[in-house]
Amino acid sequence: MAKVHMQAYKVSEIIFNNKVNGKVQLKLSNKISHNVKYSNNGTCEAVMTVEAFDKEHKDVLNVKATVHGVFIIDRETEKEFIHVETFKELFPFAKALIATISSNAGVPPIMIKNVDIEKQEIYRFEMNNRDE
């Protein structure tokens, strides 16, 4: 069976802006990006950025966190499987971080909805190093 095992993770970026004044009804939206970089030594690094913001006024309230994970992988494992599994491993950390940041800042916790990554389209672009 294919293996993907997280060795470590770190948060490289946290951005929080709260310029809400008084009682305001916000329409929150979120954006998630996830990318995997492969190495030749049986490891990969996954980078996930999760951002939540007010749809109409992004500058009024937004929170963004970027989380990196280092994974040991089986070199025979398909990249699509690795992409899905690294997403599943990192997403709970990013989701909890967004909720914690917002609640510790004195606003109701921003809860990012779960994502069923296996039902999402995965876009993969491979670039070859060629001398032309």
Domains of the chain: residue spans and CATH: 4-119 (3.10.420.10)
Residue with structure tokens 């494992």? 77
Q: Can you tell me the distance from the alpha carbon of 54 to that of 63, in angstroms, rounded to the nearest whole number?
A: 10
Q: Can you tell me the distance from the alpha carbon of 5 to that of 86, in angstroms, rounded to the nearest whole number?
A: 8
E strand or H helix that includes residue 97: helix 79-104
Residue 3: partners with Cβ closer than 8 Å, 6 or more residues away: 72, 73, 74, 77
Section 17-45 average pLDDT: 89
Find, among 24, 1, 22, 16, the residue nearest to 64 by Cα.
16
Section 1-27 average pLDDT: 87
For the ranges 36-45, 66-75, 116-125, the lowest mean pLDDT is seen at 116-125
Q: What is the pTM of this model?
A: 0.84
